[in-house]
Chain A
């Protein structure tokens, strides 16, 4: 059962354009929603994260929009640059009560920004 659905699988954007990646979740117990960026041969690195008490968070060119009622959240990359070309993963986290903070990841979106 896929708890976090991510789309699109791949995305090609012109330099300077806006990249938009969408995620939907099922488990209403999730209360932490990070986005990770992964370059080939590297581990994922945290890009930006949001908690469900806010609808939007912006850090530089990166913005998360969160819709709690629809159980959806998205990443917007403004003024996309070739250096943004990477695979992006959304994730959803929950505190299990066992002291564990688990992340459930989407399948990823491969972003290519062309000059």
Chain B
């Protein structure tokens, strides 16, 4: 597709379970970001990949959260031992250049994965 694709669009799980959320960025975009958006709030930065490596994971709230991007394209956000407070929309975004403030610096967001932890 032409845009950032995220699956699943909705995920309901029970407290304590493990969850994986997938992001397929725009082809050719080397930078990939994960954000979390709670109800009534703006997106909150979680982690940034440049290629295969996590260049900045300072936004991950704790060690239950982990993300990978093994081949520099698709990324998976993994949440262990889910808690009710993890309920939110998890947004993935990609851009052509994630580093320098060049050109537009525009982030292209997917529609998000809505996670509900019961």
Residues of A within 8 A of B (CB): 4, 6, 31-32, 34, 41-46, 49, 51, 89, 91, 93, 95-96, 98-108
Contacts and interface: CB of A to CB of B under 8 A. Distances in A.
A83 to B, nearest CB: 19
Q: Main SS of the interface on chain A? A: strand
B52 to A, nearest CB: 13
The 7 closest A-B pairs by CB, nearest first: A105-B42, A43-B109, A100-B56, A99-B99, A99-B55, A46-B106, A100-B48
B67 interface: no
Contacts, number: 76
Interface string B41-70: 111110010100001100100000000000
A93 B56 contact: no
A51 B100 CA distance: 13
A43 B48 CA distance: 17
Contact of B40 (A43, A98, A104, A107): A107
